[in-house]
């Protein structure tokens, strides 16, 4: 999370956009996300990329729920979503726009004490966004793709 901490600390605009250096994003992504992030309590809007580190790749979007065993907060990948725009627990940092006013008090950390089963700075970030009463949104009609080390799109 150090890279994102540093980057987020340098922001001096209301909205900012992040993407990964191995990502291909649609040309209209920022214009589309700006329309959504100005609605209500929206703190972040992400496009959908697929996790290249997971077999049978899944979207990098997470929801949180209370595990029935042990009553612990856990997260899992969103498997199916039928709406083009929907709230999620977290959407990762790739191809995401942020409202800096809504996220300024969020700590970027790999793990949080109250939800020890939720790991990853992008996932804990989304958890905190939701806990504040704000929304992390995913636009399921915006697909971002990664380029692997051989130049193939995945």
Distance CA 9, CA 100 (A): 10
* Structure confidence at residue 28 (pLDDT): 93
Question: How sure is the predictor about 1, in pLDDT bands with cuts at 50, 70 and 90?
Answer: low
* Structure confidence at residue 82 (pLDDT): 63
* Structure confidence at residue 64 (pLDDT): 78
Which residue in 65, 89, 88 sits closest to 139, CA to CA? Answer: 88
* Structure confidence at residue 51 (pLDDT): 67
Question: How sure is the predictor about 69, in pLDDT bands with cuts at 50, 70 and 90?
Answer: low
Global confidence as pTM: 0.84
Query: Average of pLDDT values for 69-95?
Result: 77
Supply φ then ψ for residue 44, to 5 degrees: -145, 150
Res 120 pLDDT > 80: yes
């Amino acid at each position: 999370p150090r890279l994102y901490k540093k980057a987020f600390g340098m922001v001096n605009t209301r909205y900012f956009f992040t993407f990964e250096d191995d990502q291909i994003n649609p040309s209209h992504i920022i214009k589309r996300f700006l329309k959504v992030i100005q609605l209500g309590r929206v703190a972040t809007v992400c496009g959908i990329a697929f996790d290249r580190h997971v077999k049978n790749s899944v979207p990098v979007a997470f929801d949180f729920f209370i595990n029935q065993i042990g009553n612990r907060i856990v997260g899992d990948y969103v498997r199916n979503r039928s709406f083009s725009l929907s709230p999620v627990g977290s959407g990762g940092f790739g191809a995401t726009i942020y409202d800096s006013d809504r996220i300024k008090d969020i700590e970027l950390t790999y793990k949080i004490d109250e939800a020890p089963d939720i790991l990853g700075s992008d996932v804990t970030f989304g958890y905190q966004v939701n806990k504040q009463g704000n929304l992390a949104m995913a636009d399921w009609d915006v697909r971002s793709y990664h380029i692997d080390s051989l130049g193939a799109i995945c």
